[in-house]
Structure 1
Amino acid sequence: MARRLSPVGLDFTTTAPVLLVFAREVPAAPDVVFRALARDVEQWPLWFRAVTEARPTDGGRLVRLRGGGRFEETVVASDAPAQYAYRVDLTNAPGVHGLLEEWVLTRTPDGTRVQWTVAADGTAVFRFVMRRARPALGRSFRDAMEELAQRLAAPDG
C-alpha cells in the first residue's frame, strides 16, 4: 500500500532526524556525472544495483528497488552540474514520514567528488533501521560509484 509522505524541501538535509552522508570520487567531469544522475535516469539500474527500475515522470521519477521498494519522487533541485535532489512523495516502505536524497558534485583535480545525502524521518523503528542500514547503504553507494566510473570510462559511456 502506497503512503503519501511529507513534502519536505532541501532544508531537510540539515533538519532531518536521520542524515546519512556518503562521498566518493569518480574520475569523470561533473557535467558527465550529473548527466548520469539527472538526465539518464533509465540507466540507473545498470550502475546502481539496488535499483531495478528508474524512469522519469512529469517533474520527477519512479524508482523501484530490489526487495520491492517503490518510490514516486519529485525533483526539488537540478542545478547542473553541481546538485541534484529529489524527495519521495509516495512509497510502499513502512514507517517513513519524509525522505529526501541530495547529490552534490564538486570538481576535483582527478574528476568529481560525489556526495550523496539521505535525509529521513519516520517512526522510531524506521529511524533505528535507517541508522543500522548505514554500512549497507555505504557499500551500495561505493559499489554504485565504482560501477558508474567504469561505465563513464567505457568508449560508449
Structure 2
Amino acid sequence: MGPGLVRAAPVRRVFAREVSATPEPVFRAPAEDVTGWSEGGRGRHAGPPPRRRRGGGIRPRGGTRFRETIRAAEEPAGYAHRVDVANAPGARAPAEEWRLEPAGTGTRVRWTFAADGTAPFRLALRAARPGPGRAFRSAVTSLDRRLTR
C-alpha cells in the first residue's frame, strides 16, 4: 500500500505502538475526530491525515505548512499519503504510511515517515528523530484514551 517512496526513501522513520481498540475504530478516528489527534501532540496535527480531506493541509508548530494527498486507503489496514507542497526548505516528496494490524484484542499502529531532499534537509531529519517519535507516541496514546472511554 502507498507510494514507493515510503519504502525506498533515503530517510525513513518507523514508529509503532499498540492500542486497546480494534483496527476499525482506529482507522475511522482521524476522519471522525480530526482535532483530537493533536490533543497530546506538540503540532497542530500529530497523527494520520483525515481521510475526508483530499488535498488538505496541515500546519505543525514552527510555521511549516504542508498540502497533502491521500494516496491509498484500505479499511481497516491503513492508509498512505504524500505531501504535494511544503514550505520546508529542501524537502522533496515527503510521504507517510499508517498500517493497522490486529494485535491480540487491540491494534498495532505503525507509522512510517519517508522523505527525500537536499543533503542539509536529510541531515536535519536524521537529527530530529526524537521529535517525531514523541509526537507519534503522544498522539497514539491520546487516541487510545479517547477510543477506550
- Shorter-chain TM-score: what band? 0.7 to 0.9
The structure with more strand, counted as a fraction of residues: 1
Residue from 17, 27, 31 that aligns with 1:24:
17
Amino acid in structure 2 at the alignment position of 1:31: E
Q: Once the two structures are superposed, what CA deviation does each residue of 1:44-98 show, in whole Å capped at 9, x if it has no partner?
A: 33354422597754x3321111111211100001111102111000111111011
Residue from 117, 126, 136 that aligns with 1:131:
126
TM-score by length of 1: 0.83
Amino acid in structure 1 at the alignment position of 2:34: E
Moved over 4 A (4+): 52-56
TM-score by length of 2: 0.88
Residue from 25, 42, 45 that aligns with 2:34:
42
Kindly indicate whether residue 68 of structure 2 is the aligned counterpart of residue 73 of structure 1. Answer: yes
Residue from 108, 113, 117 that aligns with 1:113:
108
Segments of 5+ residues of structure 1 without an aligned counterpart are 1-8
Identity among equivalent pairs (%): 48
Residue pairs, 1:6-21, within 5 angstroms: 10-21=3-14
- Alignment partner of 2:3: what SS? coil
- Distance in 2 (alpha carbons) for counterparts of 1:11 and 1:102: 11
- Alignment partner of 2:100: what SS? strand
- Distance in 1 (alpha carbons) for counterparts of 2:118 and 2:77: 32
Segments of 5+ residues of structure 2 without an aligned counterpart are none
- Alignment partner of 2:63: what SS? coil
